[in-house]
Amino acid sequence: MINTYNFNFIEKYGYVLLNKYETKLKYSSRTEFFCVAMIPYPSGKLHIGHFRNYCINDFICRYKNLKNKKSFVHFGWDSFGLPAEKAALSKNISPAIWVKKNIKYMKTQIKKMVFLILWEKEINTCSKDYIFYNKKIFNIFFKNNLIYRKKSWVNWDPIDKTVLANEQVINGRGWRSNCKIVKKKIYMYFINLKKIINSLYKKTFYLKWPQAIINSQIKWINKQKYYFFYLFNKKKTKIRVFLKNRFDFLNTNKIIYPLYIKKDIFGVLQAYSKNKIINNKFFIYFNNRKIFYKLHIDDKALINEAFFSATSSKINKIFKHNKLNIIKYINNIIIKTKYLFNLRNWSISRQRVWGTPIPILKCQKCGIIFNNKQKCLLCKKKCKKETDTLDTFFDSSWYFLKYFYKNPLHKTKKKINIYIGGVEHSVLHLLYVRIFFLILNKLKILSYINPFKKLIIHGMVLKHSFFNKKKLIYENEKNYLKNKKNYIIKLEKMSKSKKNVINPLTLINKFGSDASKMYILFLNEPKKDIVWKDIKISGCVRFLKKVWEFFINFNIKKIENFKCKYKLKYIQKNIIKLYKIKKTNLLISNLMVLFKNIKTISNKKTVFNNNFLNIVKKFILFLHPVCPIITSVLWHITGINKQFGNIYNNNPFK
């Protein structure tokens, strides 16, 4: 065994030892603990932002295994979608080939990090098996009248040439293209949320999730009580108007109307400017007189109906009786109350090639759709296949059920114990998952409505970008150092579009898997953002070097009866507490302090109190979820394994 720290040698040796420990664990009868991280999109290369997700996942799984559970990292690929299709077209190759190539490279990145992955459970949303069940779920929803097809106004992205759900429109722009969204009317398939939306809203308040995520979903679903009545004009056209307050119609002369439904109500309108008056002849009868309102068009209106915007007080001019009489008149005008939600029925069809085909046949003449009929029942003509594909959020709303059983529709009681992902998914993926599981529960396919017992939302990985003012592009640090005057430095989310990503393989090849993993966990606790600086990883490397050099000369036979004078119960209790609350940065700091004390004790060799061997053993076990490779080797070369056996059969957290 070499005396100097050489991570290449240690990883080669440790990988073999870890495989032995993990194989025994795999076939053990322990209780399973499902800790799952959100699956990646196979876009080409994983960066540090992705790796943080899986480092946290691996850390928790190894921690649970030391606590006598059976926990493995489960992995998969969210493979369908627009980016793959566009990239493949630009390269003149099939999206399937492009995705397959990316997955192959990304797997080399992941395997180099030595995560505790159960590869036999790997899933791929573009595989035949996955598509089969995706279609099956669609058919179940469709047969239960939970999916319908309708011509409707949708968010159309002119760059990506596809429909976006409301949740994918950020400040009026496409979430990927950043292009201004336009309204377009086309045939779409929708999941009908009317029967579950109220339940979805109420149950949001009882989620045991981070409060920020709960608040985001409450705000997005946005249940509000409205009063409504009708406005008329001389042509007997009427529009339904919603009010938040019963008195609002007396406090305004202006009505806002959504831009994209104007033709439904008014037919062809004359040219108008945004937010300009286009009609002022709508009225109601109130107190035996007509009250006229000015109608405005607004493309930012969220409610798919007309509503009031209070601008000026009219109540004293049009009605001078007491309040009781006002209420009496108002109640005669108000039709009824209604609760409206910002969240609309989920549009699940997309105009793409690379996606799960919607398993529907439709008659081109009659417009009737069928699940499996080859000929139209009315005109007897042959039906054609639907050309739309399913939204990729449909694919990713149920994928973790495949980790439990091959058939995801198995009536399982199994749940994900901990689900890990980024904050950007709070009102996209996480909201769609909840919708999906409410429906599966309603159809009695599953016995629960929330698939995650606990949710860990980690912060972003930030890195400096160097922005060239002259060329208006992001450039690298070298160019910035040459001519600082022409550059602006921005601290931004690590992203390929910002040209500030770090390939984890570069890090691992230079510093090793353990040091890389330790550094990612050391920069901050999971729920907070981290600012990436390569240079700081050297501190983790120095620590592992000291640990190796200390233990390579460690002789278990010489210290079997040796006792130490230092009381280390407090620091051990602190480490156990930090594991429980997942504060990885403080945990690693405490491990460094514990090791420093172990070295001090070893040098002084004075007799008093706690058993020294037990402290040494616990230190290796405490360090294991952070640095699994070096600790597996140390467990073996110190001879501790001969006395205490498999590393996963020892629980330091008792």
pLDDT, tens only, 209-244: 999 999 999 999 988 888 877 777 777 777 777 777
pLDDT attached to residue 364: 81
Q: Does the pLDDT at position 118 exceed 70?
A: yes
pLDDT, tens only, 139-198: 999 999 999 998 887 888 888 778 887 777 888 888 778 888 888 888 899 999 998 999
- At 253, is the pLDDT very low, low, confident or very high (cuts 50, 70, 90)? low
Please give the residue that has the higher pLDDT: either 44 or 433.
Answer: 433
pLDDT, tens only, 13-71: 999 999 999 999 999 999 999 999 999 999 888 889 899 999 999 999 999 999 999 99
- At 471, is the pLDDT very low, low, confident or very high (cuts 50, 70, 90)? low
pLDDT attached to residue 90: 82
On the 0-12 / 13-18 / 19+ scale of CB atoms within 10 A, 472 is exposed
pLDDT attached to residue 319: 54
Sheet holding 162-164, edge to edge: 162-164, 147-157, 182-191, 346-347
Positive or negative: CA dihedral 630, 632, 636, 639: positive
Residue 524 DSSP class: S
What number is the average pLDDT over the span 461-470? 80
Please give the residue that has the higher pLDDT: either 288 or 453.
Answer: 453
- Given a contact cutoff of 8 angstroms between Cβ atoms, the answer to whether 24 and 393 are in contact is no
Q: Mean pLDDT score of the chain, rounded to an integer?
A: 84
Q: Does the pLDDT at position 546 exceed 90?
A: yes
Please give the residue that has the higher pLDDT: either 256 or 360.
Answer: 360
CA geometry: angle 328, 331, 333, nearest 5 deg: 115
pLDDT attached to residue 100: 94
- Given a contact cutoff of 8 angstroms between Cβ atoms, the answer to whether 399 and 123 are in contact is yes
Task: Name the pTM for this structure.
Answer: 0.87
pLDDT attached to residue 608: 40
- Given a contact cutoff of 8 angstroms between Cβ atoms, the answer to whether 88 and 347 are in contact is no
% of the chain at pLDDT higher than 90: 50
pLDDT attached to residue 560: 47
